[in-house]
């Protein structure tokens, strides 16, 4: 099993892949659309770039990475953006096929489910049949399939605190029209894992030998440290990681949930049968690591004494996340510093035998974020929504990343940059020499 890293530069805990407008692009309603009709999108800000993020390899180039290492970006895009991706130098483009719409320059990395379950299938679904259509129709052009994006975040946001589709939760945690925050997140992840295993079996049986692709799953992660030097906080940090990451990774690698989850959750945690365990174990060729922000963990054993508990209470820990305000400025020097530090650290890990095969930034274009709408932008390219043609403008980070992708040596940017509004000419090329 290998790893593909996907990062979101600061701010957004939850992004949206824009599967298409319902009426204009012949797509039926999904659970996302139902949520958008019921409530204005919530802004949930978390920070990936922790203050003082250490710089690893301070100067490097793409040639320092192993042959075949993939660098890309993720976003929604139109046909004309494919040329922009090629001009930027991307190896790959990560996007989602919209289940509710289902009817060669850059290698596609496809996600089959990214929060947009068809509303008509909210109660009954056949994920394997849907995946079969995708494999049959697109498998000759797709080498990397992610079955489900962040099942842990999908379950917590949608079935515990109810701020994402299908908006299910229960008091005293949150108030929704229906749901059970104590049990449904665990049930949701359990069935996602079984659905993933079913799809992986189908792919490996009918398609993998012919199409020579890979199938895996992505996991929502934090970079976590103990709040203090106490033994209790150190143990709580490992426990929180077991609940967040091990919840998904342990079944995929070992065929069962972490022991601490079994202990704390008890009978509310579904059990794998012997056959299910065998099917889930080893069902991922790769793991996508969706990395958002860093946080500190404090031990909180008193939460286990609550009569009603949800996932957060079951962790017996508190998390303190670092938040950085968002900015849509073209002068995103802070992001350049972040990219340089993160990719440099990843290079160090690869040199120390980490089986990491690729890295995707979020996102290629500024777009509509599920919990933040248009208020927050993460794109390498700014989209002028006041322009009838939605003109794209490269940010400083786009030029830095493009330079790196094209094999040029890169380093951190510490100077302040003053960009012209029209970026047809760039006055700051000397900073990348």
Residues tagged active-site: 150
Residues 195, 128: Cα–Cα separation, whole Å: 7
- Nearest CA to 17 among 91, 110, 87? 110
Residues 346, 2: Cα–Cα separation, whole Å: 14
For CA atoms 66, 70, 73, 78, the dihedral sign is positive
- Nearest CA to 58 among 299, 348, 423? 348
Report yes or no: 213 and 275 within 8 Å, Cβ to Cβ: no
Calculate ∠ Cα 9-143-85, nearest 5°. Answer: 45
Residues facing 108 on adjacent strands: 93
Contacts of 57 (CB under 8 A, 6+ apart): 64, 344, 345, 347, 348
Contacts 24+ apart (CB under 8 A), 161-164: 163/42, 163/44, 163/371, 164/14, 164/35, 164/115, 164/370, 164/371
In terms of residues, how long is the chain?
A: 433
Q: Identify the DSSP state of 161.
A: B
**Which helix (H) or strand (E) is 225 found in, with range?**
strand 214-226
């Amino acid at each position: 099993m290998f790893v593909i890293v996907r990062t979101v530069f600061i701010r957004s805990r939850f992004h949206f892949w824009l599967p298409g407008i319902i009426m204009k692009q012949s797509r039926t309603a999904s659970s996302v659309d139902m949520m958008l009709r019921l409530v204005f999108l919530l802004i949930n800000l978390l920070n990936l770039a922790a203050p003082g993020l250490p710089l690893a390899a301070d100067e490097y180039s793409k040639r320092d990475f192993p042959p075949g290492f993939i660098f890309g970006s993720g976003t929604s895009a139109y046909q004309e953006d494919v040329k922009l991706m090629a001009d930027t130098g991307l190896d790959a483009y990560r996007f989602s096929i919209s289940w509710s719409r289902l009817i060669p320059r850059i290698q596609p990395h496809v996600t089959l489910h990214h929060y947009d379950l068809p509303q008509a299938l909210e109660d009954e679904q056949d994920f394997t049949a849907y995946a079969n259509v995708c494999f049959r129709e697109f498998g000759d052009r797709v080498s990397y399939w992610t079955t489900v994006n962040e099942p842990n975040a999908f379950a917590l946001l949608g079935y515990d605190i109810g701020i994402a589709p299908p908006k299910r939760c229960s008091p005293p945690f949150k108030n929704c029209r229906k749901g059970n925050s104590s049990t449904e997140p665990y049930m949701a992840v359990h069935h996602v894992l079984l659905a993933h295993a079913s799809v992986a079996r189908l792919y490996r049986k009918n398609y993998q030998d012919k199409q020579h692709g890979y199938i895996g799953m992505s996991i929502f992660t934090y970079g976590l440290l103990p709040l203090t030097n106490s033994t209790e906080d150190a143990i709580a940090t490992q426990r929180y990681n077991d609940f967040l990451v091990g919840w998904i990774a342990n079944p995929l690698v070992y065929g069962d949930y972490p022991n601490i989850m079994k202990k704390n959750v008890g009978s509310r945690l579904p059990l794998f049968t012997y056959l299910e365990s065998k099917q889930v174990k080893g069902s991922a060729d790769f793991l996508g690591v969706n990395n958002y922000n860093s946080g500190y963990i404090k031990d909180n054993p008193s939460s286990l004494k609550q009569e009603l508990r949800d996932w957060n209470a079951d962790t017996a820990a508190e998390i303190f996340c670092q938040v950085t305000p968002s900015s849509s400025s073209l002068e995103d020097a802070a992001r350049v510093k972040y990219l340089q530090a993160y990719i440099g650290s990843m290079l160090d890990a690869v040199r120390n035998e980490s089986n990491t095969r690729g890295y995707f930034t979020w996102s290629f274009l500024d777009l509509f974020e599920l919990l933040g709408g248009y208020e927050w932008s993460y794109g390498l390219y700014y989209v002028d929504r006041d322009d009838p043609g939605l003109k794209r403008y490269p940010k400083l980070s786009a030029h830095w990343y493009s330079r790196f992708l094209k094999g040029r040596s890169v380093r951190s940017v510490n100077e302040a940059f003053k960009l012209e509004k029209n970026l047809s000419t760039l006055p700051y090329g000397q900073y990348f020499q």
